[in-house]
């Protein structure tokens, strides 16, 4: 799935990480509760990016796995994070995200990547995978309700579970307020910025240039990302050179 995504991404991206990405399972003792994750390559690029996931049977299906791969690897976290690591135009503290990430941007980008794959026909001939992608979108929408329910409306843990969120996820939301909400909010903002640029540029619209501008910005607050998109529009749609 990752190798296929790399080939398909050539039509939408003219900058891609030099670093490879590989898949590894978590240690077995973590399988029951761990979520999938991505670890960036180091600054010296001495190892690839690593996509890890627990080998739970319900996740290893055509329904669930493909969208998860797009989210964590290509064109999701691997494209965004590895390109930041490799971008020597950024200060080193930003290359390695020394002060942490910005979840609305990083998780928003990963959800944007899922949507992009669906829009570009990557699920053609795979209705089960497409249904899984739609189910994943619905899950992220439920997160908006549960995260705000827990922290603003005094929901109980059981109320959150009853709304369709696994207990391990609910526990995560309880200790990191707003992180679950950031996924969908970030995706919606990226889609809004894409629509803004596409409408403003008309015939000069080029998705590769848009993706260049977003990915080469590094991990930034969404308000700064809009400044980058506004600059793209002002430049007449010219993205940074690959």
End-to-end CA distance of the chain: 25
- Rounded to two decimals, the pTM is 0.94
Residue 240 confidence (pLDDT): 57
Residues in CB range of 202: below 8 A, 6 or more apart? none
Going residue by residue through the chain (242 aa), what tens digit of pLDDT does each one get? 999 999 999 999 999 999 999 999 999 999 988 889 999 999 999 999 999 999 988 889 999 999 999 999 999 999 999 999 999 999 999 999 998 889 999 999 999 999 999 999 999 999 999 999 999 999 999 999 999 999 999 999 999 999 999 998 999 999 999 999 999 999 999 999 999 999 999 999 999 999 999 999 999 999 999 999 999 999 998 765 44
Strand (E) or helix (H) holding 4: helix 2-9
Residue 242 confidence (pLDDT): 45
Please, where are the H alpha helices in 103-221?
A: 103-119, 127-152, 157-162, 167-175, 179-201, 207-216
DSSP character for 81? I
Bridge-based pairing of strands 21-25 and 49-53 is: parallel
Residue 216 confidence (pLDDT): 95
């Amino acid at each position: 799935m990752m190798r296929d995504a790399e080939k398909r991404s050539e039509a939408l991206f003219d900058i891609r990480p030099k670093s490879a990405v590989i898949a590894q399972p978590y240690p077995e003792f973590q399988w029951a509760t761990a979520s999938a994750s991505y670890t960036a390559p180091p600054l010296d690029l001495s190892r690839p990016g690593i996509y890890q996931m627990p080998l739970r049977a319900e996740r290893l299906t055509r329904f669930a796995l493909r969208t998860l791969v797009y989210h964590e690897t290509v064109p999701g976290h691997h494209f965004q994070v590895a390109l930041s690591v490799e971008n020597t135009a950024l200060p080193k503290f930003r290359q390695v995200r020394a002060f942490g990430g910005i979840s609305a941007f990083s998780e928003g980008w990963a959800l944007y990547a899922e949507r992009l794959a669906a829009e570009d026909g990557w699920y053609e001939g795979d209705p089960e995978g497409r249904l899984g992608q739609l189910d994943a979108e619905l899950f992220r929408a439920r997160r908006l309700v549960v995260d705000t329910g827990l922290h603003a409306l005094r929901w109980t843990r059981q109320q959150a579970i009853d709304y369709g969120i696994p207990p391990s996820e609910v526990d995560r939301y309880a200790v990191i307020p707003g992180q679950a909400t950031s996924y969908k909010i970030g995706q919606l903002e990226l889609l809004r910025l894409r629509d803004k640029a596409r409408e403003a540029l008309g015939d000069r619209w080029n998705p590769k240039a848009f993706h260049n501008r977003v990915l080469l910005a590094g991990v930034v607050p969404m308000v700064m990302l809009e400044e980058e998109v506004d600059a793209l529009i002002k430049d007449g749609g010219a993205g940074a050179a690959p």
